Amino acid sequence: MNNLWHCLTQNNIVYFYYQKEIFKNIRTEWFGEVVDYRLLVDTALLAGEIMLSSGAETYRVEETVRHMLKVSQFEHCDTFVVSTSIMVSIANHDLDAISRAKSIEERSINLANIYYVNDLSRKLCRNEISVEETHQRLEQLLHEKQYHPKKVYGCMILSAMAFTILLGANFIDCLVAGFNAIFVIISQVLYNKVKLNDFVINMAVCCIMAILTCVFSVILPCSLNIEAVIAGSIMPLLPGVALTNATRDTLIGDYVSGTARFVEAFVIAASLAVGIAAGLAVGNYWFGGIL
Amino acid sequence: MIVQIFGAFVAVYTMSVVMNLPKKFLWMAGSIASVSWLVYLIFTDYEAGLGFSTFMATAVSAFISHLLARRQKAPVTMFLIPGILPLVPGVNTYRIAYHLIQKNYAKASFYLNATLTVAGMIAIAIFVIDSGFRIYYTIKNMKSQKKGRNH
């Protein structure tokens, strides 16, 4: 018993000493404030995560995260970003490395998030705001919505109509595309609420859209430019920006992210094309020889 | 032509709302896109190839984006992604997959070629303008440093 007690206290003393050492190293005086390096790593990771899931290029994410980590003034501030995951680590000669990793599942385009994260990281690097405040603001950013969903949906319909005009269609084609875009909205709502697989939803929605376009082309007295209508109405789903980002990542030398994004873009396009091919086949079978 | 340019403006304005662009940048994004679409239309009218017209249109929009980004103190991507949106080969990607499914390999390879050309040209144009601005600012910095030494 005595022996055990002795052992425990000994361990505790060692433990407390260890804690004190780490405490001394982790928290240092910095512009009259206490910097928590763990929080700094968390903040940088969160910033990178938000940027990556908002559709920023990989090299931009790496640059921003590294700038934020350099606030710690450690010897080694490293980050490794691919389009599906992100790793951060900082190390100094007198401190164990602090590192974290995170995988990113949802990817969409959200320019406001890129803008605000960029702004915050710039302010942090100029010591205008503290690490705690940056972390708080980043977490607020995750829950913020700039536009009302109804406005976004209305804009989806308008953009489908406008893109149909850009593809060289006339006014009636444009109206049909606007009607089709309602199904794009439905697919977005389903994706947000039910969390169904992206591929399946896209396929189903495109199938319905293609059938409807066939119906319209039979019903309406004038002839429809079917290809332009379909291409215009799926415009909000198409991976154009992903493809351009993929090319930029590849040309800048980041081949892993580049190929991943190429494949992502092609899978999305394939899901749309499968749905549309199926829909057109059904429409052809029902109404006979439109195409 | 006017209808097309107006269409480009509306398309990019609304698409920017979908992509959650901050409100104060919406007008600028739409204007950049319509200017670049105008350049694209002019070059295709004079029968410059697909690649060259895309290159020029992207270069113009990248140039304006850089100027605006400096003025508004925002990252260039804010203006660049909406600005090149009408040029971006989204529809062609879909066409590749569609023609592959239809076993129309000649058309599929044609659209694959077009997509790679356009995507590559957009990337190259962005890089060219980017490096141009970098060189300009480096020279400017060097000059101001020299002046500082003389005084």
Q: How much of chain B is in helix, strand and coil states, percent to nearest 5?
A: 85, 0, 15
Helix or strand holding residue B37 (H, E): helix B26-45
Interfacial B residues in 51-80 facing A (CB < 8 Å): 74-75, 77-78
Q: What is the pLDDT of residues A210-259, one digit of tens each?
A: 888 888 888 877 777 788 888 888 888 888 778 888 888 888 888 888 89
| Partner-chain contact A159 B18, CB within 8 Å | yes
Q: Which strands form A95-103's sheet, in the order they lie side by side?
A: A76-82, A85-92, A95-103
Pairing of strands A85-92, A76-82: antiparallel
Please state the φ and ψ torsions of residue A27, each to the nearest 5 degrees.
-105, 120
Q: B20–A112: do the CB atoms touch at under 8 Å?
A: yes
Beta bridge partners of A87: A80, A101
pLDDT tens digits along A252-265? 888 888 898 888 88
Count contacts between A and B (CB, < 8 Å): 146
Residue A41's contacts (CB-CB under 8 Å, 6 or more residues apart) are A69, A88, A89, A90, A98, A99, A100
Structure tokens at A196: 């169904």
Chain A interface includes B20 (CB < 8 A): yes
Q: What is the mean pLDDT of residues A1-24?
A: 49
In this prediction, residues B105-115 reach a mean pLDDT of 91
pLDDT number for residue A291: 53
A22 versus B19: the higher-pLDDT residue is B19
Complex prediction ipTM:
0.84
CB contact under 8 A, A269 and B74: no
Chain A CA closest to residue B112: A266
pLDDT beyond 70 at A177: yes
CB-nearest partner of A115 from B78, B89, B124: B78
Longest Cα pair distance anywhere in chain B, in angstroms? 73
Which region, left, alpha or beta, applies to residue B128 given φ > 0 means left and ψ of -120 to 50 means alpha? Answer: alpha
Q: Do A236 and B115 touch (CB under 8 A)?
A: no
B127 touches chain A (CB under 8 A): yes
Q: What's the pTM value of the predicted model, to 2 decimals?
A: 0.80
> CA B79, B82, B87, B89 torsion: positive or negative?
positive
CA-nearest residue to B127 within chain A is A248
* Distance separating alpha carbons of residues B42 and B61, to the nearest angstrom: 14
Q: How far is A123 from chain B (nearest CA, A)?
A: 12
CA of A245: which chain B residue's CA is closest?
Answer: B123
User: Chain B contacts of A231, Cβ < 8 Å?
Assistant: 91, 94-95
Suggest the residue from B98, B111, B116 to mutate for an interface test with chain A (most A CBs closer than 10 A): B98
- Cα of A18 vs its chain's centroid, Å: 40
For residue B20, give the nearest of A110, A247, A270 by CB distance: A110
**pLDDT tens digits, residue range B21-56?**
888 888 888 999 999 999 999 998 888 788 899 999
The reply to whether residue A277 touches residue B98, judged by beta carbons under 8 angstroms, is yes
Contact B34, B85 (CB under 8 A): no
**Averaged pLDDT for residues A61-88:** 88
Kindly report, residue by residue over A200-214, the tens digit of the pLDDT: 888 888 898 888 888
Tracing tokens 């396929």 back to the chain, one arrives at A203
